[in-house]
């Protein structure tokens, strides 16, 4: 375990980028696709907790956590041990064809900590976008309806279904049409004072009913509403108090499914395991990725059993999905905190993920429940 040799952080000893980094940037430019959206010339060498060392020996505090991926910090010793242990036993196991205990353990653990009382099931994928694809397919399959409602400012990923649900930036869509049809976008409540009152009802939800559902999308054709409880890529907007409960009621009224994208906001980043717990709402499908395996490619829709149990989903599980389930299972086992407790206030993720063991691991002190999520805002301002 490298603990940055007890040096003070940050520690910058070259001009940036340094000479080794500069040489690698030039080679990268020659051989790598220009599709990557890099905005910092940082060439990483190794990481430890919240610290990254670049190839020239400069030390940085990592405020991005790989865009919300390394939820337990870089190279958490438990995660490293789980990977090393598993690599000697079994690296690939096709969940499409066979069975494997760590997958079952992880699925059970996740359904136990998921918000709400309904029994749930898990469907493993590799990335957040795939989790959203699977969620969209499941919603269409289960309801027999084609349409979906999503929000401006939302980012759900870069595959076709996920891209079509996104309403964040033109750069994600330009040149890729035609997209998946029948997806309607509506404004996400940004600082809407009228949605602050849970009792009076949420004006932005009412607007969906009065406009989209009355003018362009018959409710009996709408399969699902997709929403991030806290918009990430779109600019870190938190749902006002009445919004998610209002969406839940609207969905129940018309038999529409509520799909919550917790790819970025989930796994302890807001002080609760799932951000949606702050609103006390039980979604029909929760899409998870990123922090679930702290850097290993693992994602999933977690769906209420009444829908995933009634159908045979086919044609969407990638052969390798769920392979690193052992890592997440290891992380997850540490989440001994019972659900619906008050959010821990400091060193949020450390407390959430280390359970009663305590941790000598170098956690950043979030200072408040939303710290880990809000911090990521530093990475948000990419050109449209
Ligand atoms: C809210 C949200 N949903 C989905 C995705 C897509 O996840 P992935 O990059 O793993 O496909 C992202 C990625 O940033 C995201 O922030």
CATH number at residue 175: 3.40.640.10
Q: What is the number of the ligand 1 atom nearest to the C-alpha of 231?
A: 1
- Per the model's pLDDT, the better-predicted residue between 305 and 326 turns out to be 305
Phi-psi region of 301 (alpha: psi -120 to 50; beta: other; left: phi over 0): beta
Domain count along the chain: 1
* C-alpha closest to that of 59 among 19, 9, 20, 16: 9
* C-alpha closest to that of 163 among 379, 248, 150: 150
What is the rounded CA–CA span in Å between residue 154 and residue 244? 15
Q: Does 143 map to a domain?
A: yes
Q: Does 41 map to a domain?
A: no
Q: Does 18 map to a domain?
A: no
Give yes or no for residue 17 CB within 6 A of ligand 1.
no
Which pLDDT value is given to residue 234? Answer: 87
Give yes or no for residue 67 CB within 6 A of ligand 1.
yes
Q: Does 63 map to a domain?
A: no
Q: pLDDT confidence of 27, banded at 50, 70, 90?
A: very high
CA of 158 to the centre of ligand 1 (A): 8
Q: Does the pLDDT of residue 197 top 70, yes or no?
A: no
CA of 376 to the centre of ligand 1 (A): 13
Q: Does the pLDDT of residue 326 top 90, yes or no?
A: no
Q: Does the pLDDT of residue 223 top 80, yes or no?
A: yes
Q: Does 292 map to a domain?
A: yes
Q: Does 307 map to a domain?
A: yes
Range with lowest mean pLDDT among 9-18, 72-81, 119-128, 303-312: 303-312
Percent of the chain with pLDDT over 70: 78
Q: Does 380 map to a domain?
A: no
Which pLDDT value is given to residue 151? Answer: 97
Q: Specify the pTM.
A: 0.86
Q: pLDDT confidence of 353, banded at 50, 70, 90?
A: very low
- Per the model's pLDDT, the better-predicted residue between 229 and 193 turns out to be 229
Could you list the residue range(s) of the whole structural domain that residue 175 is in?
85-335
**Token couple for 283:** 């979604």
Q: Does 304 map to a domain?
A: yes
Please give the average per-residue pLDDT across 88-92, as a whole number: 88
Which pLDDT value is given to residue 377? Answer: 36
Which pLDDT value is given to residue 131? Answer: 97
Q: Which of helix, strand or coil describes residue 296?
A: strand
Give yes or no for residue 129 CB within 6 A of ligand 1.
yes
């Amino acid at each position: 375990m490298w603990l940055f040799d007890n040096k003070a952080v940050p520690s910058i000893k070259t001009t940036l980028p340094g000479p080794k980094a500069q040489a690698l940037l030039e080679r990268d430019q020659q051989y790598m696709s220009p599709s990557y959206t890099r905005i910092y010339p940082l060439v990483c060498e190794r990481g430890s907790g919240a610290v990254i060392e670049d190839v020239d020996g400069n030390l940085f505090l990592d405020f991005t956590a790989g865009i919300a991926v390394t939820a337990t910090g870089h190279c958490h010793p438990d995660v490293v041990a789980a990977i090393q242990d598993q690599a000697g036993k079994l690296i690939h196991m096709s969940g499409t064809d066979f069975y494997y205990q760590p997958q079952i353990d992880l699925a059970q653990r996740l359904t136990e900590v998921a918000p709400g009382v309904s029994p749930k099931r898990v469907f493993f994928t590799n990335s957040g976008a795939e989790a959203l694809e699977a969620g969209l397919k499941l919603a269409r399959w289960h309801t027999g309806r084609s349409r979906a409602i999503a929000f401006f400012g939302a980012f759900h990923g870069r595959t076709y279904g996920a891209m079509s649900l996104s309403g964040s930036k033109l750069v994600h869509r330009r040149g890729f049409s035609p997209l998946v049809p029948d997806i309607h976008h509506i404004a996400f409540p940004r600082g809407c004072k009228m949605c602050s009152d849970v009792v009076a009802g949420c004006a932005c939800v009412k607007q969906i009913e009065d406009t989209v559902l009355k003018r362009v999308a018959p409710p009996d054709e709408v399969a699902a509403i997709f929403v991030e409880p806290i918009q990430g890529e779109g600019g870190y907007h938190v749902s006002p108090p009445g919004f998610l409960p209002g969406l839940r009621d609207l969905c129940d009224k018309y038999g529409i499914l509520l799909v919550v994208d917790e790819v970025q906001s989930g796994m302890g980043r807001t002080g609760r395991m799932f951000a949606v717990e702050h609103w006390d709402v039980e979604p029909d499908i929760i899409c998870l990725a990123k922090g679930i395996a702290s850097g290993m490619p693992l994602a999933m829709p977690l769906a209420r059993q009444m829908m995933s149990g009634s159908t045979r989903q086919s044609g969407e599980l990638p052969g390798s999905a769920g392979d690193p389930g052992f890592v997440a299972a290891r992380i997850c086992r540490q989440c001994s905190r019972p659900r619906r407790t008050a959010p821990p206030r400091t060193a949020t993720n450390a407390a959430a993920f280390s359970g009663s063991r305590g941790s000598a691991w170098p956690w950043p002190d979030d200072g408040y429940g939303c710290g880990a999520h809000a911090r990521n805002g530093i990475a948000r301002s990419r050109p449209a």
